[in-house]
Amino acid sequence: MTLLDFILNLAGLLLWLNWRGIAPVTTAPPGAAALPVPRRPAPPRARWLFLAGLLALLALRAVFYWQAGPQLDWIPGIGLGPPRIFLRSDLLGRMLLFSFLSFGATLGVFYLFLLLLSSVHGSNAESESAQRLVNLHLGPMGRWPALVKLILPLLVVTLVWYALNPLLLKFNLVPPVTRGQLLAQGAVIGLGVYFILKFLIMGMLLLHVLNSYVYFGDNAFWKFVNQTARALLRPLQWLPLRIGRVDLAPVAGSALVALAAEFGRRGLERIYPWM
């Protein structure tokens, strides 16, 4: 059921991108060395059908979870930071809440990844085509200063946690707290969200290492991967991590990111109960 929920979230994400007029499914013509580019957006009226399809998907899968979840003893949970909220699958209202929150978390992670990619590249002319694709998804946010883009997830998660609190209280999913405690909880959860970036960072570094030893051709995707990895490894460039032709910087960077995420997560889990 968890895998099915993940697949349906990806399907919902595609519907969301089509609704916004950004459908990254068209590839470059044969022989062209370019990244996949968004196809021509559908007419405005047709685009609203994608939004309707997304809402229908979220509602119908909630009904399915409500029917199938109890038979499979499935208790779904939502958690990107220290707290993890579990919802009973035998209650339709809670499955509707889970369906929308689960997709919202997927959408948030998607934009979190885009914000990091946009921030590390900045106005690098070498990655112009890739940067246009990233910023196309971000819209006006793509032109904001890097510091603002990096702080934005913390602010958004804090406000979303604050806004969701009345609904979570109604379903008896969280205990009542003061406004100050609620904002502090939101800030801790927002900080915990950044640790999800470890998957993107480590994935980029892994692809960079792979491309360093295996030639996959001269195309924009691998150029973008290499430029991203070099930008991410820039803080380590002063360390003597090269031995002959072997560059240990990606390995060291991945290890540091994994350790920071693990110890950071444990620290926030200790702090959160005091909020």
Q: What is the pLDDT of residues 199-245, one digit of tens each?
A: 999 999 999 888 888 877 777 788 888 888 988 998 888 888 788 77
pLDDT above 60 for 27: no
Q: What pLDDT is attached to residue 116?
A: 92
C-alpha 155/C-alpha 157 separation (Å) is 6
> pTM of the entire structure?
0.85
Q: Which residue has the higher pLDDT, 167 or 23?
A: 167
Q: What is the pLDDT of residues 60-118, one digit of tens each?
A: 999 999 999 888 888 898 876 777 888 888 889 999 999 999 999 999 999 999 999 98
Q: Which residue has the higher pLDDT, 80 or 263?
A: 263
Q: What pLDDT is attached to residue 59?
A: 95
pLDDT above 70 for 28: no
State percent of the chain over pLDDT 90.
Answer: 41
Quick one: pLDDT band at residue 41, thresholds 50, 70, 90? low
Q: What pLDDT is attached to residue 88?
A: 87
